[in-house]
Amino acid sequence: MRLPKRGFNRYKVPAQVVNLRDLNRLDDGAIVTPELLFEHGLVGSLNRPIKILGDGDLETKGLQVEIVACSRSAISSIEAAGGNVSTAVGPEPGETS
């Protein structure tokens, strides 16, 4: 006989990862939204959260990033390149709506 599972069984949705080197495909001064990343083929789905990581060098200048999550190193690199980051768009990674 099987017993039901008890306790904390929260299913966490994994975030889609976009690295800084991937953002070099975008134009200077672009407003980076989940829709723009989907159009450029950098993410596979708009239904899963997106996180920008600081892997690689950012050559694109003045990006305005409006994303759910962003690492500290990615934020500092984007701001050093003349851009800004607002991460208060949509649910947190892993949160179901």
Per-residue pLDDT for the chain (97 aa), expressed as one digit of tens each? 777 777 777 778 889 999 999 999 999 999 999 999 999 999 999 999 999 999 999 998 999 999 889 999 999 999 999 999 997 654 445 554 4
Name the residue ranges covered by the structural domains of the chain: 16-86
The fold for domain 16-86 equals Ribosomal Protein L15; Chain: K; domain 2 (3.100.10)
Start-to-end Cα distance in the chain: 34
Q: What is the pTM of this model?
A: 0.77
- CB of 90 within 8 A of CB of 9? no
Smallest CA-to-CA distance from 48 within 5, 15, 71, 17 is with 15
- CB of 65 within 8 A of CB of 83? yes
Smallest CA-to-CA distance from 91 within 50, 39, 63 is with 50
